[in-house]
Each structure stands twice: as C-alpha cells, then as structure tokens.
Amino acid sequence: MVEWNGYLILIFAIMAGNYILDLIVENLNLKRLSPELPAEFEGHYDAEKYAKSQDYTKVRTKFGFITGSFDLAVMITFILIGGFNYLDKFARGFGFGEILSGLIFVGILMIGMQIISLPFSIYSTFVIEEKFGFNRTTVKTFVLDLLKGLIISTILGGLVLWMVLWFFGALGSLAWIYVWMGLVLFMILVLYISPTWIMPLFNKFTPLQDGELKDTIVNYMQTNKFKMKGLFTIDGSKRSSKANAFFTGFGKSKRIALFDTLIEKFEVSEILTVLAHEVGHFKLRHVPKRIITGIFQMGLMLFILSLFIKNEGLFAAFGMENVSIYASLIFFSFIYAPVSMILGLISTISSRKHEYQADAFASQTTADPESMINALKKLSVTNLSNLTPHPLKVFLEYDHPPVLARIEAIRKL
Ligand SMILES: [Zn+2]
C-alpha cells in the first residue's frame, strides 16, 4: 500500500497545483475573448469568421480541460491502488535482470499512456479539427503515424533508457556525469539525423520547384550572402490545412521547410518574408543557443535525479516492495515537475525573444515589413489563432509572441 509520507503529499500537491493553475489560466484566457475584432485585422476577418476563430479557441480549451481532468484522475487512481507496485512485480516476473525489467516496466507504462490518450487524439483530429475544416488526415495516415511514432520511440527511447540504467547501475555516484555526456552525444546525433532520416518518414520533402518563388528566394539569398542548400516544400496538407514553415537541423543536415499549404495560399512576397524569418533564426544562431541551454538544463536535471535514485521515502510513497533505478526515474519525474516548469518558462521567454529578433531580421533584409505583417495576419487567419490571449497564458505557454505584439514590434522598427 502507498504510504502517506511527505513525498506523496508533495506529489499530490504538485499535481493539484498544476491542475488549478491551468484552470485559472484557461479561464482568464477565455474571459478575454471579445467579439470586437482588433482594428489591425479589419478586412482580414468578417464577423462570422472571427466568431468561428473564437469558437475554435473555446472548443480546444474545453477539450484540454476534459483531457487534463481525465489524465489527472487516472494517475491519482493508479498511484493510490498501488499500480506501480503491481506493474513492477509483473515486469520482474519474467526473471530478467535490472535493465531488461526496467525496459519492460517503462515500456508498459508508455504504451498504457498511449492507449489511454488514443481516444482523445482520435476525437481531436476527426471531430474537432474536422468541424473547423482543418482536418485532412485520413484514417490510413493516422494509423501509420501512430505505428511509425511507436517504432521510433521504442528504438530511440529504448536505447536511451538502456544507457541510463546501465550507467547508473555500474558507475556509482558520479554516474550522472557519464549519463549526461552520453545523452548529449545521443541528442546531437538525433538532431543531426532527424531532418534526413526521421522527418521524411512522416512527410515528403521536395526540393523547391523552379519558378517565380524560387527565383525570388535565390535572389534574396544572393543579395544577403546566404548559402542554404536545403530548401524544401513539405506536404503538410497531408494532415491539416494549417500553414507553417520551419527551420531544422544543423551542419550539412540543416533545412528550411515551407508547407505546401503556405505556398498555396500566400503571395510570393509574403512567403519570402516567412522564409527570411527562418533564415534569421539560422543567422542569429538561435538553434545552437537552444541546444546549449538544453544541455545545461539536462545536466541540472540529471544531477538532481542522482540525489533521488533509490530514495526509500519515494518508494514507500508509491507503495513499492522493491527498490530499483528504473522506477526511481519515473518517481523522480513527479517531484521534478515544478523545476521543469520553471526551466520551461526560461526557454519560452528566450524563444519569444528569438521570434522578435527573427521578425526584425526578416523585415530588414527583405526591406518589406508590409509583406511580413500581411504574412503574419494571413497565418493567424488561416490557423484561426487566438488574437487576444491573456498575458498570463502567453507568459506561461507561448513560445511565439501573440501576433498583434509581433506586428507592433515590426511597425516600431
Ligand atoms: Zn520563428
């Protein structure tokens, strides 16, 4: 049975606190929805479509609330009935060693969570996104995505877990430093192979076709002295009508991907500013900065984790009969959540700063701030983004500043 010690109380307090904070933030966010269209968007939205965009925010929020409540209820129940102990006894029942038992234990947990979230994910894609006209995912794509995701996470996750368990088991009190080094190497490898090996499993990357758009882009690259080979369009329309663009990878694997939905709906001058924004992320070294921050955050986490490996109070709290390294990893994630949240805040703050910088870069190097502003407005309308999010929601969750703030910043340049 679980033991009502300080750890268990702390963990439930963290879960409840997180849930309540979310409720407050989402409520504030909904209250800020006003039927009045911001002046900046006049001509881009009619009253009916603007009402639809707000309806989208409401439906998504309500759905998030239901999912969150369900997940919380399931997790609390699982903890209270001693689910972790049952699962551990099952994993040990095969008679394998610590590492293999750990792979089984964590594997079943992950698959269980996947199964529980499946109905929600089906509903989100085929009911909500469908209702608002975004969904283009077929059942076949949906199932294939699920299977591919499962295979990749089993391979990558399995390798990482195996390494972590082995290092912590074999290397004593400084193991966290070796785990850290191993994870950094692994992370860099995955970042490197992801654009060329993993992402193409999900989307087709096609080199940008010859034509006006490509000429304009090549011209821009030459004027601004950029060498960028990896310029692709991807078939985002396979899943959704939402438009986007992104920059990924580094070194030889770096590429910029423009969604076909973007190319379909936007003017050449607008697409150029979106591309220039991505080039800005590259030129301003945002990716290496993010990787380095990630490496330090990982080191901090592993150090704190090393203090909690096989912590007896924590195992008593979860009603465990056997102490293990693998279960320590899972239990640690419960108490680490607030630290993780604070570190996440630092990341989103710096991400929003990077977005402003990339916007400034794009409007200066294209000398076309009006097209940049138009592109941002069109993206918001196409994706039915919330134009007036509550500042607290922005502070806690947004990795991009709200569109009106971005437009204002571009106008000020
Ligand atoms: Zn950006």
Q: What is the 3-state secondary structure (H, E, C) of the chain?
A: CCCCCHHHHHHHHHHHHHHHHHHHHHHHHHHCCCCCCCHHHECCECHHHHHHHHHHHHHHHHHHHHHHHHHHHHHHHHHHCCHHHHHHHHHHCCCCCHHHHHHHHHHHHHHHHHHHHHHHHHHHHHHHHHHCCCECCCHHHHHHHHHHHHHHHHHHHHHHHHHHHHHHHHCHHHHHHHHHHHHHHHHHHHHHHHHHHHHHHHCCEEECCCCHHHHHHHHHHHHCCCCCCCEEEECHHHCECCCCEEEECCHHHCEEEEEHHHHHHCCHHHHHHHHHHHHHHHHCCHHHHHHHHHHHHHHHHHHHHHHHCCCHHHHHHCCCCCCCHHHHHHHHHHHHHHHHHHHHHHHHHHHHHHHHHHHHHHHHHHCCHHHHHHHHHHHHHHCCCCCCCCHHHHHHHCCCCCHHHHHHHHHHC
| pLDDT at residue 67, rounded to an integer | 97
Gap from CA of 281 to ligand 1 centroid (Å): 7
The residues annotated with a catalytic role in the active site are 278, 359
Residues in the chain predicted with pLDDT less than 70, given as ranges, are: none
| pLDDT at residue 262, rounded to an integer | 94
| pLDDT at residue 225, rounded to an integer | 83
| pLDDT at residue 187, rounded to an integer | 93
Can you tell me which residue has the tokens 């004593």?
A: 172
| pLDDT at residue 240, rounded to an integer | 96
Gap from CA of 316 to ligand 1 centroid (Å): 45
Gap from CA of 373 to ligand 1 centroid (Å): 14
| pLDDT at residue 173, rounded to an integer | 84
| pLDDT at residue 196, rounded to an integer | 86
| pLDDT at residue 168, rounded to an integer | 95
| pLDDT at residue 252, rounded to an integer | 73
Gap from CA of 280 to ligand 1 centroid (Å): 8
| pLDDT at residue 208, rounded to an integer | 92
| pLDDT at residue 249, rounded to an integer | 77
| pLDDT at residue 39, rounded to an integer | 93
| pLDDT at residue 267, rounded to an integer | 95
Gap from CA of 248 to ligand 1 centroid (Å): 11
Query: pTM here?
Result: 0.91
| pLDDT at residue 227, rounded to an integer | 78
Residues with CB under 5 A from ligand 1 (ion): 355, 358
